[in-house]
């Protein structure tokens, strides 16, 4: 087909599953990224590779910028960071997009999961000590198109505007849906998950704004549109 651009969306994103199968996580998130980057370099194809806020440890208290040093806490975060490094080492002009807390049409996500639990149980337990920026997959399209058209390279953070906790996110979902649900705040330690999550991993989009002039809408506005469609 000889495409001009390949957008690599392939990844093992089951964060706890990566802890159980480190070899598979490395094959997909590191070796897979390396393979695509090598082929793109060989055939002169531009590569856009997707990454994550989980490359950071969450100890910062202001949004992470692209120049901050990654320090992943989990196998997932580590393999995604190593995948980034491979792409940057192999390809002469890659574009790496870091995003977070993605939801959208086509598959189950945080929103669909808690709506299902709430309808069945009347209550949901949601962590209130992890902060980030919920991002509607649809809203990634336009800024990425701009980055492609402007032939930008390197790492860019692309997320909806604003910061909240998963608990805040859940509260907003039920408010928008006019649902009376008992939302119980809990700590991350209470969930007893295998993989450690960053406590504060919001991503700054100042570089995107500076280089393209584009500002993503607020996560609340994006959420309202998505909920109207489901």
Q: Which residues are catalytic?
A: 76
CB 218 within 8 A of CB 164: no
CB 148 within 8 A of CB 94: no
The tally of CA atoms less than 13 A away on the side-chain side of residue 123 is 5
Query: What is the sign, positive or negative, of the torsion defined by CA atoms of 201, 100, 12, 89?
Result: negative
Residue 6 CB partners (closer than 8 Å, separation 6+): 36, 40, 45, 46, 47, 48
Cα–Cα dist 124/167, whole Å: 10
* Listed residue (150, 170, 169, 146) closest to 158, CA to CA: 146
At CA 197, angle to CA 161 and CA 47, rounded to 5? 60
Cα–Cα dist 108/104, whole Å: 8
Cα 125 to chain centroid, rounded = 22
């Amino acid at each position: 087909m000889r495409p001009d651009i390949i957008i690599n969306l392939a990844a093992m994103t089951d964060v706890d599953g990566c802890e159980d199968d480190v070899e598979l996580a490395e094959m997909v998130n590191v070796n897979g990224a390396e393979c695509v980057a090598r082929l793109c370099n060989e055939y002169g194809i531009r590569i856009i590779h997707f990454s994550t806020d989980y490359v950071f440890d969450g100890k910062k208290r202001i949004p992470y910028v692209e120049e901050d040093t990654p320090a992943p806490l989990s196998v997932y975060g580590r393999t995604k960071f190593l995948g980034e490094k491979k792409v940057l080492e192999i390809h002469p002009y890659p574009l790496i997009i870091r995003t977070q807390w993605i939801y959208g049409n086509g598959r189950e996500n945080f929103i669909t999961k808690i709506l299902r639990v709430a309808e069945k149980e009347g209550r949901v337990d949601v962590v209130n000590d992890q902060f980030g920026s919920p991002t509607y997959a649809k809203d990634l399209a336009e800024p990425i198109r701009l980055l492609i058209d402007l032939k930008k390279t390197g790492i860019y953070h692309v997320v909806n505007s604003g910061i909240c906790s998963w608990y805040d996110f859940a509260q907003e979902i039920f408010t928008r849906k006019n649902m009376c649900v008992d939302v119980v705040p809990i700590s991350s330690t209470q969930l007893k998950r295998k993989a450690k999550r960053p406590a504060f991993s919001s991503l700054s989009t100042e570089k995107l704004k500076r280089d393209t002039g584009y500002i993503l809408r607020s996560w609340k506005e994006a959420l309202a549109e998505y909920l109207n469609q489901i």
